Structure 1
């Protein structure tokens, strides 16, 4: 059986194909995606694939793995995502059970201007 890390690496490779329905192969039958920032939950691989396929894009989505932290059944990734016009970062917490992703919790942080009150303490 594949390790949790191997499953998540395959997940991102399949996402990079832009054939989002192919990703269902690495998702558990009871897969759940949660986006705490917007309060949304998506149940099932087919809905996950459909959401990604329907998301407005200006071109092919590209995924660049920036950080990868793995334990026995959990993996955390930081991925830069762009379609050539839109850019975002996803911080993703994967739970892998029986060789498939059963749960994914994602955070999509927005960049912001640093507060001036700490300028004397930080570097740009």
Structure 2
């Protein structure tokens, strides 16, 4: 198991949801930061804002990218890149697209979390943040 997968398991065991995990994995830990209040607030994005709307992995990933010192135009571009990649890769951006109506988090969520974390880290590497 690689280090990202292992860290996902550890965070899940601590009760973190998808949006919280990607925020920690992409936004905070690579910068050596902690922010319990921010992590707690991101919980509202979990499971598509608890209404199967925009996937928590995706919304958490965009929030994680915004924690870096991108200028406004570059931030807009990298967020759009992530959203477009996610939509093409998973066939939609809403939880309902990934899981179906009333669907519960499943293997697809773990797959989306791992792949989106890797995509965000790739974006950050391309811009010399990590």
- TM superposition score normalised by structure 1: 0.30
Q: Larger radius of gyration, structure 1 or 2? A: 1
Flag the structure with higher strand content: 1
- TM superposition score normalised by structure 2: 0.29
Flag the structure with higher helix content: 2
